[in-house]
Amino acid sequence: MFRTVLMSLFLTIASVMLNSYVRSAYKHMPTFKQEEESTAQDVMIKAYGKAGLEWTLRGKHLYTKNGDVLLISALLQTEKEKITADRAFINRDTLEGYVEGNVEIKSENFYAKTDRANINLKEGKVWGNTNVFLKEEGKETYGESFTLELRPLKIIIKKAKVRLE
């Protein structure tokens, strides 16, 4: 009887020690995030910013990975503005990113062309540190960096060279 009590006490203590060892080993193991990936063709996405700014995002190909969206042959447009580019990279949560490759920004009041631009769709803001060409109301402007705020329209171009038509 004494042996049985000692044996059961030994097994209980051993199982508690093994349990604590296994738990401590799991704490030190690296964890892996499961990544979400998907692709689609000929897509259209709606995104909403401040002050009722509604964006329609289109592309021939769409790739997503962990909340980031890549659009190939991208078209981002509102009721009044249109941005086209070879590629658009956008974070789904923040609606921030950049467009690159033959970037054109068109509106009723202006036309702009650059190679790369950062975008914030929520704020309706486009900016970049690359060369830019802007055409508006009978004048052409060339510059080295720019900021466009779409609503209300505000255009800032650094190191601007203006040519009147």
The pLDDT tens digits of the residues spanning 127-164 come to 999 999 999 888 999 999 999 998 888 888 898 888 87
**Cβ neighbours of residue 111 under 8 Å, at least 6 residues apart?**
104, 105, 134, 135, 136
Do residue 83 and residue 124 come from a single domain? yes
CATH number for the domain spanning 41: value is 2.60.450.10
Do residue 65 and residue 84 come from a single domain? yes
The pLDDT tens digits of the residues spanning 47-97 come to 777 766 688 889 998 888 887 889 999 999 988 899 999 999 999 889 899
For residue 117, give the amino acid letter: A
Q: Of 160, 104, 95, which is closest to residue 125 (Cα–Cα)?
A: 95
Length of the chain: 165
Cis bond before residue 152 (omega within 30° of 0):
yes
Do residue 50 and residue 25 come from a single domain? no
* Full residue range of the structural domain in which residue 26 is found: 1-31
